Homo-oligomer: A and B are copies of this chain.
Amino acid sequence: MDITPPGTKPLGSRRKVCVVIASRANYARIKTALAAIRNHPDLELQVVAGASLVLERFGGAVDVVEADGFKPDAVIRFIIEGENPVTMAKSTGLGLLELPSIFELLQPDIVVTVADRFETIATVIAASYMNIPVAHTQGGEVSGSIDESVRHAITKLAHLHFPATDLSARRILAMGEDPAYVFNVGCPSIDLVAQVDPLTPHDALTPLTAAGAGAPIDPDKPFVLMMQHPVTTEYGQSLDQINETLDAVAALGMQALVFWPNVDAGSEHIAKGIRTFREKGRAHGFHFFRNLPPHEFARLMAHCSVMVGNSSSALREGAFLGTPAVTVGTRQQNRERGANVLEVPNETATIYEAMRRQIAHGRYDRNDIFGDGTAGQKIAQILSLAAPPVQKALAYTAEDLLEADLRGAEFPTASA
**Residues of B with C-beta under 8 A to A407:** 173, 179, 395-397, 400
Query: What 0/1 readout, one digit per residue, does chain A (157-168) give for beta carbons within 8 Å of chain B?
Result: 100000000010
Q: Which of B54, B148, B413 contacts A392 (CB 8 A)?
A: B148
Q: Say whether B89 contacts A93, CB under 8 Å.
A: no
Which of A120-128, A188-196, A348-356 forms part of the interface with chain B? Answer: A120-128
**Residues of B with C-beta under 8 A to A394:** 142, 152, 171
* A105-B102 Cα distance, complex, nearest whole Å: 10
- A398 (CB) vs chain B CBs: closest residue: B167
Chain copies in the assembled complex: 4
A296 within 8 A of B: no
A381 within 8 A of B: yes
Residues of A contacting B: mostly:
helix
Q: Say whether A89 contacts B100, CB under 8 Å.
A: yes
A213 within 8 A of B: yes
Question: Taking A77-B81, A90-B100, A94-B93 as contacts, is the C-beta distance between A175 and B173 under 8 angstroms?
Answer: no
Question: Taking A394-B171, A401-B171, A408-B173 as contacts, is the C-beta distance between A96 and B93 under 8 angstroms?
Answer: yes
A8 within 8 A of B: no
- Interchain nearest-CB distance for A88 vs B (Å): 5
Question: Taking A57-B268, A97-B93, A129-B85 as contacts, is the C-beta distance between A171 and B412 under 8 angstroms?
Answer: no
* A381-B412 Cα distance, complex, nearest whole Å: 14
Query: What 0/1 readout, one digit per residue, does chain A (376-403) give for beta carbons within 8 Å of chain B?
Result: 0010011000000011111111001110
**Residues of B with C-beta under 8 A to A415:** 1, 374, 378
* A220-B318 Cα distance, complex, nearest whole Å: 54
A330 within 8 A of B: yes
A92 within 8 A of B: yes
Q: Say whether A183 contacts B412, CB under 8 Å.
A: yes
Q: Which residues of A contact B (CB under 8 A)?
A: 1, 3, 54-57, 76-82, 85-90, 92-101, 104-105, 118, 121-122, 125-126, 128-131, 142, 144-146, 148-150, 152-157, 167, 169-171, 173-176, 178-180, 182-185, 213, 232-233, 235, 263, 265, 268, 272, 275, 278-279, 330, 334, 374, 378, 381-382, 390-397, 400-402, 404-405, 407-416
